[in-house]
Structure 1
Amino acid sequence: MFAVCSSLLTLLISYAFGSADYRTYCYDLRNIRAPWCVLAGHNKAVSYVKFLDSETLVTASTDNSLKIWDLNKTSPSSPSTSACSLTLGGHTNEKNFVGLSVANDYITCGSETNEVFAYHRSLPMPITSHKFGSIDPISGKETDDDNGLSVSSVCWRGKSDMVVASNSSGCVKVLQMV
């Protein structure tokens, strides 16, 4: 038995979901009897799954990593560990859902450090990040103290260079990649 943490449907025939058993399961909806591949490599639950394109999957885990998977290197007979083409790190994700969004070759995710991180699919480290502050209750101004907040949702805005992100206090920001 396992808990489903995340799922995604692409091209109307492929379905992938992350699980609390540290794996990602990929199904062809025309034959759902068994997954056509199982991706293994994370050390904790897989919380988000997104397709970068029809042959590439990105997974996020509470092991503080994102992984990019080449679906052409999978095996239907056993869990695929060699299909991971790159592991991305720099953000913090150990217990909360921090969001994951993809656009073209770019990947964004939130962090338990109250930051948004952006990655390019070819680099293992972030290309940029933005720290949310918290609002000082006396001055009403934003401060650098995160007060234990996390960025919990990220989404690319259509076909643009803008990301909408929100944190656990309800603060929403529209950020532009330049």
Structure 2
Amino acid sequence: MKETNYEFYVQQKCISMIKSIANVCSIQFSSHSTHLLAFGSADYKTYCYDLRNTRIPWCTLVGHGKAVSYVKFLDSETLVSASTDNTLKLWDLKKTRSNGLSNSACSLTFTGHTNEKNFVGLSVSDGYIACGSETNEVCAYYKSLPMPITLHKFGSIDPISGQETSDGNGQFVSSVCWRGNSDMLIAANSTGTIKLLQMV
């Protein structure tokens, strides 16, 4: 009996290329448009591109003091960026300039979490914004309020008892994700603890 070995190939074709002058930390398609994307960069800027013309950015958002680690589209006209300068920024894309830097498009700066060296995650859902913190906490913001609306502290796991303690011990929340359009959020920290959280 002859053995048949089936191999399937998916061919990929580059249809466009964008060359960034600095490291790209995060990239995101807009779920509200078929032709918009944004990326955060190590040069402290967020770049927005229209895929119909990738020669130059559609806009360049400036205002962070360190690398932009995450970008997320909140809706069709709003972008959120996270940086290792301890801030999140809300950008009004209607106020951007297509020829140059857009520093007046920032409509709100969120503070209340600590993020100076690690990637701590960023997730958005229906006007809510969540990120991790180097204080081993999950921070949730609402799009119109500059401070967290709630915080959840991860404890550390005692290696002897296996119980959670309140000491963060240098740990940080490293990833967050909203569950669709719901009040549930999943978060993980730097030691592998994963928690399912619900806003009440």
- TM-score above 0.5, yes or no: yes
Q: Does 1:137 align with 2:139?
A: no
Q: 1:4 — aligned with what? A: 24
Q: In structure 1, how many angstroms separate the alpha carbons of the residues matched to 2:91 and 2:71?
A: 11
Q: 1:148 — aligned with what? A: 170
Q: Does 1:174 align with 2:196?
A: yes
Q: 2:67 — aligned with what? A: 45
Matched residue type, 1:8: Q
Q: In structure 2, how many angstroms separate the alpha carbons of the residues matched to 1:12 and 1:164?
A: 28
Which residue of 123, 129, 136 maps to 1:107? 129
Q: 2:108 — aligned with what? A: 86
Q: 1:16 — aligned with what? A: 38
Deviations 1:28-71 (A, max 9, x none): 00111100100000000000000000100000000000000000
- Large movers: runs of 4+ above 2 Å: none
Q: 1:127 — aligned with what? A: 149
Matched residue type, 1:173: K
Q: Does 1:71 align with 2:93?
A: yes
Q: 1:164 — aligned with what? A: 186
Deviations 1:92-132 (A, max 9, x none): 00010000000001000000110000000000000000000
Matched residue type, 1:25: Y
Structure 1 unaligned residues grouped into runs of 5+: none
Aligned alpha-carbon RMSD (Å): 0.6
Q: In structure 2, how many angstroms separate the alpha carbons of the residues matched to 1:42 and 1:97?
A: 15
Which residue of 41, 44, 51 maps to 1:29? 51
* Structure number with bigger Rg: 2
Q: Percent of pairs identical after alignment?
A: 71
Return the TM-score normalized by structure 2. 0.88
Structure 2 unaligned residues grouped into runs of 5+: 1-20
What's the secondary structure of 2:94's corresponding residue? helix
Matched residue type, 1:4: V
What's the secondary structure of 1:72's corresponding residue? helix
Q: In structure 2, how many angstroms separate the alpha carbons of the residues matched to 1:12 and 1:147?
A: 44
Matched residue type, 2:173: V
Q: 2:13 — aligned with what? A: none
Return the TM-score normalized by structure 1. 0.99
Matched residue type, 2:22: F
Matched residue type, 1:26: C
Matched residue type, 1:81: N
Shift of 1:12: 2.1
Matched residue type, 1:158: G
Shift of 1:150: 0.6
Q: In structure 2, how many angstroms separate the alpha carbons of the residues matched to 1:158 and 1:16?
A: 21
- Which sits farther off after the overlay, 9-18 or 117-126? 9-18
